[in-house]
Amino acid sequence: MTDSAKPPTILVIDDDAEIRYSLTRVLSSRKYQVIEAASGEQGVAMVKKGPAPDLIFLDVRMGGMSGIEALQHIRSANPKQLVVLMTAFGTAQTAIEAMKYGAFDYVMKPFDPAKVLALAENALKAHADLRAVGDYKPTVNIDDYREGIVGSSSAMQEVFKTIGQVTASDVTVMITGESGTGKELVARSIWKHSHRATKPFIAVNCAAIPDNLIESELFGHEKGSFTGATGQRLGKFELCDGGTIFLDEIGDMALATQTKILRVLQAGEIQRVGGTETLKVDVRILAATNKDLEEMVKAKTFREDLYYRLNVVRIRMPALRDRGDDVPQIVDFCLQSLVKQKKARVAKVSPEAMAVLARHNWPGNVRELENVIYRSAVIAQGDAILVKDLPAEIRGTIAVEPVGASSPPFEQTKTAAAESAALATAKVVADSVAAGEPALSLERALDFVHAQLAKSGEPVLPRVEDEMVRRAVAAAGDDLAAAAKVLGLTKAVLQKKLKS
């Protein structure tokens, strides 16, 4: 919120006196102080002279300086100035230009008073939220992560330890885990730290290559060995001699090919398709899958002997939802790498948005989180990602923890950070209900608030009561009698509550 008790100032720039009048009336019905300018030129002059208004409603079509021109002048004078454009002509061109030149949003005329008020409130809230983010302390620094693998959860510490243990030898490693958990990243890390680092690393996605081509891909073929084999071709194993081959999605490999991989593992030998010569190769094999190989062995779709050969060391990649506090670290890491690659400019995240990200259950794991961060960083209008910038499916699927869920009792989890995250999230839910977000029903929101407060150890009733009283009073514009009626209290009781 604004630091002083002063009401927010809104500047309305429109050459149509009637529009200025009606907008002023709508906005003054709330605690906004409205000032007016009758042309683009006048509006720009007022902004340059200062003090800067908290928000500007700016008409697109005006005699003299156009709204888009005025927008550019205003934003170059004050890059943080919030501007909402107004137009009677909803063309794609206007919308694109408006957003390109940094408008917060735009509204269509004739406008619906409720929408204008909601827009003003959202814009000012975004503004306040951005200011509240202020100094941002990222949880990690990209320069400390040359490996590209981020995470300090105990599950990831185990992964790092195992990587360290297997780099010195040529042992076969099986990496398992859900999609997007970083299996390939780990395979590359093992290779980079091994004595084979100067020799090739070749990744073969067994699921992406048709069964009839995979053997030729892996072992090569002789000229004329099958239709289309017009010349001799070397396979990945030969090309990778001395290096490391990463057999990704090995659970999708045909049984016949599995037999040949077993031979490489046992004897270090291959034969090109259609060839008779036996070739020696020196290749380290790393494999990965998100399938349940044990089940496949039982169903005889995966060779048991190969399974044991591959599974000498197993690295189980934890799902992101089981990685505790790793989400903020990955978020900061992703943002810093986007900025470094000049794909985005935003490097901060509001605490509320971070709380929403930390609560999502990430079925697509780190890959999904990376995509979400990229999308949000691109559409964020300020210098921080706010809740409103997150994709709707992330905002809307805030997990509702059933009360007394499997989480440990709050004595164990109640840290200052957990508490503030819980409260921030409760606030997000309350706000999205207030904004009429369809994805969150009141029922779910109440469940959630209850669970969060129970976990944070804060007594539920006083907190919820305070929130409701605050909302009612704000909505009634300080008309205590009206607020009391909404709350179902007498005015005297409400006054007493306000005092306490």
Q: Which is nearer to ligand ATP, 40 or 177 (CB)?
A: 177
CA dist 392 and 255 (Å) reads: 43
Q: Which is nearer to ligand ATP, 105 or 184 (CB)?
A: 184
Q: Which is nearer to ligand ATP, 124 or 330 (CB)?
A: 330
Select the residue whose beta carbon is closest to ligand ATP and give its number: 182
CA dist 198 and 195 (Å) reads: 8
CB 167 within 8 A of CB 315: no
- The helix (run of H) or strand (run of E) holding residue 280 is strand 279-280
Task: Give residue for tokens 């050969």.
Answer: 309
Residues that bind Mg ion (CB under 5 A): 184
Q: Would you give the DSSP letter of residue 476? A: T
Site mask for ligand ATP (CB under 6 A), range 165-194, x = bound: ------------x-xxxxxxx---------
CB 422 within 8 A of CB 452: yes
CA dist 375 and 390 (Å) reads: 8
Q: How many residues of this chain bind ligand ATP (CB under 6 A)?
A: 18
Torsion of CA 449, 455, 385, 394, to 10 degrees: -60
User: Binding to ligand ATP by residue 290, rule CB under 6 A?
Assistant: yes
What is the closest distance, in whole angstroms, from the C-beta atom of residue 364 to Mg ion in the complex?
12
CA dist 157 and 144 (Å) reads: 16
Q: Which is nearer to ligand ATP, 53 or 180 (CB)?
A: 180
Site for ligand ATP in 341-370 (CB under 6 A): 366-367, 370
User: Binding to ligand ATP by residue 153, rule CB under 6 A?
Assistant: no
CB 245 within 8 A of CB 284: yes
What is the closest distance, in whole angstroms, from the C-beta atom of residue 287 to Mg ion in the complex?
11
What is the closest distance, in whole angstroms, from the C-beta atom of residue 5 to Mg ion in the complex?
55
Q: Which is nearer to Mg ion, 174 or 469 (CB)?
A: 174
User: Binding to ligand ATP by residue 325, rule CB under 6 A?
Assistant: no
Residue 330 interacts with which of Mg ion, ligand ATP, none, CB < 5 to 8 Å by class: ligand ATP
What is the closest distance, in whole angstroms, from the C-beta atom of residue 421 to ligand ATP in the complex?
21
What is the closest distance, in whole angstroms, from the C-beta atom of residue 210 to ligand ATP in the complex?
19
Helix spans in 224-324 (H): 236-239, 255-267, 293-298, 304-310
CB 486 within 8 A of CB 472: yes
The footprint of ligand ATP (CB under 6 A) covers 148-151, 177, 179-185, 290, 330, 333, 366-367, 370
